[in-house]
Amino acid sequence: MVVSSMRECLKIDKRGVIRLLQITDPHLFSNPEDKLLGVDTLASFKEVIQQIKKQIIRAGDSFDLILATGDLIQDHQIQGYEHFAKITKALNLPIFWLEGNHDSPTEMNEILSAYSHVMPHKHILVGEHWQILMLNTHVAGQAYGELTESQLNWLESKLAEYPEHFSLIVQHHNILPTNSAWLDQHSLKNAKELEKVLSKFDKVRAIIHGHIHQQVDAHWQGIPIFATPSTCIQFKPNCDEFTLDILPQGWREFYLYENGELETVVKRLNSNEFLPNLEAKGY
């Protein structure tokens, strides 16, 4: 696999099936002993990475890259980004990241850029047939997400520049409602503007995101949408009030084919070692 940089774009030469990992919402603290609603987020993140590493060793075949879809930290302290970068280095894979509502974008970029395996690029050309477009939905001081006009223009320009490529759109915030009133107020606010852009192009194969701490496999405007479990706490679906779930921490794998087809599977830890405080009413 050959990697070459082109300004804001990174090109990864790859033949055959493209294999991606998505990890999301680790909510790491600066203090390794701190917990989020009873869950040691650093320990659960380490366990997820360790299980992925074991899977790679067993299979004798690795992935091509990792997509980290936001909320890497919880307490707005930069040490959390250090923890993230150091732990993921064990996988020996390039990581592409984007901002979540809990992240601090300036510090995030500054700290993560110091690690050679953590890549700043938001446009990734993978092989001859696919492109990955990483969108920033972060709104300073807010839990909800929004795409700026410049982000929408950038997205449209890249889709127009590579019309022959199949496209994977990546962002932090959800578009579809979760049927949970407390959570749905924190979704992407201008999904209609995103729809206007995407409706002009016929090779957008999926949108993937984090933020909602639960698995979703659905469709929006004819486009598959995939949400992925958090590596820490899980939100229980279909609950109007804040409710945690007992499902284990997880990650998602994607397999992109040269004909534009896509397969995906969610995997989770095999135990309930990291159970949250189910009495919690928010965070």
How far is 21 from 253, CA to CA, in rounded Å?
5
Has 75 been labeled as part of a binding site?
A: no
CA 240 to chain CA centroid, Å, is 24
Sign of CA dihedral 112, 74, 93, 168: negative
27: pLDDT strictly greater than 50: yes
Q: Please give the average per-residue pLDDT across 265-280, as a whole number.
A: 95
6: pLDDT strictly greater than 60: no
> H helices of 162-260, where?
181-184, 191-198
Has 238 been labeled as part of a binding site?
A: no
4: pLDDT strictly greater than 80: no
- Phi and psi at residue 193, to the nearest 5°: -65, -40
CA atoms within 13 A on the CB side of 5: 7
- DSSP-derived letter for residue 188 is B
Has 184 been labeled as part of a binding site?
A: no
pLDDT tens digits, one per residue of 91-134? 999 999 999 999 999 999 999 999 999 999 999 999 999 999 99
pLDDT tens digits, one per residue of 167-185? 999 999 999 999 999 999 9
How far is 200 from 159, CA to CA, in rounded Å?
9
**Closest to 68 measured CA to CA, from 117, 107, 30:** 117
Supply the pLDDT for residue 246. 97
Supply the pLDDT for residue 1. 45
- Phi and psi at residue 21, to the nearest 5°: -115, 140
pTM recorded for the entire structure = 0.95
Banded model confidence at residue 204, pLDDT cuts 50, 70, 90: very high
Supply the pLDDT for residue 59. 84
Q: Please give the average per-residue pLDDT across 250-271, as a whole number.
A: 97
Has 211 been labeled as part of a binding site?
A: yes
Residues with Cβ within 8 Å of residue 263, at least 6 apart in sequence: 254, 255, 257
Q: What percentage of the chain exceeds 90 in pLDDT?
A: 91
Supply the pLDDT for residue 8. 73
Domains (range + CATH), the chain: 17-268 (3.60.21.10)
pLDDT tens digits, one per residue of 59-86? 888 899 999 999 999 999 999 999 999 9
Has 165 been labeled as part of a binding site?
A: no
Query: Structure tokens of 31?
Result: 């203090």
Supply the pLDDT for residue 35. 98
Mean pLDDT of all residues in the chain? 95
Q: What's the start-to-end Cα distance of the chain, in Å?
A: 42
Has 190 been labeled as part of a binding site?
A: no
CB–CB of 110/183 below 8 Å?
Answer: no
How far is 276 from 239, CA to CA, in rounded Å?
17
For residue 236, give Cα distances in angstroms to 42, 73, 180, 240: 21, 21, 9, 10
Tell me the three state secondary structure of residue 19.
strand
5: pLDDT strictly greater than 50: no
Banded model confidence at residue 282, pLDDT cuts 50, 70, 90: confident
How far is 88 from 41, CA to CA, in rounded Å?
14
